[in-house]
Amino acid sequence: MEELIKQLMGQMNNRFDKLEQETGQMNKRFDKLEQDIEGVKQEIVNNQTENRSYFKHIETKIRTTTTHI
């Protein structure tokens, strides 16, 4: 009986070790995803800034052109 309990405990410990490894891998994946998301957010901010600048430039050109007409 004692041997059976030791076997079961060993199996449980192996399963917990495997779960711990898988959880660690999942955490690494989530960390990578968080980094990717932050990169995308920064890219969006940069694109918005570029778009605003571009449209300001167009607006200025239109105002300059219409005042010369």
Q: What integer pLDDT is reported at residue 35 of this predicted model? A: 98
Using alpha carbons, list the distances in angstroms from residue 40 to 32, 37, 43, 45.
12, 5, 5, 9
pTM over 0.85: no
Give me the number of domains the chain comprises.
Answer: 1
The single-letter DSSP state of residue 1 is -
For residue 67, what pLDDT band results from cuts at 50, 70 and 90? Answer: confident
Q: What integer pLDDT is reported at residue 68 of this predicted model? A: 67
Tokens representing residue 22 in the block: 């898988």
Residue with tokens 């199996």: 11
Q: Write the pLDDT tens digit of every residue in 6-61.
A: 999 999 999 999 999 999 999 999 999 999 999 999 999 999 999 999 999 999 98
For residue 66, what pLDDT band results from cuts at 50, 70 and 90? Answer: confident
Q: How far apart, in whole angstroms, are the C-alpha atoms of residue 49 and residue 55?
A: 10
Domain span at residue 42? 1-68
Amino acid of residue 8: L
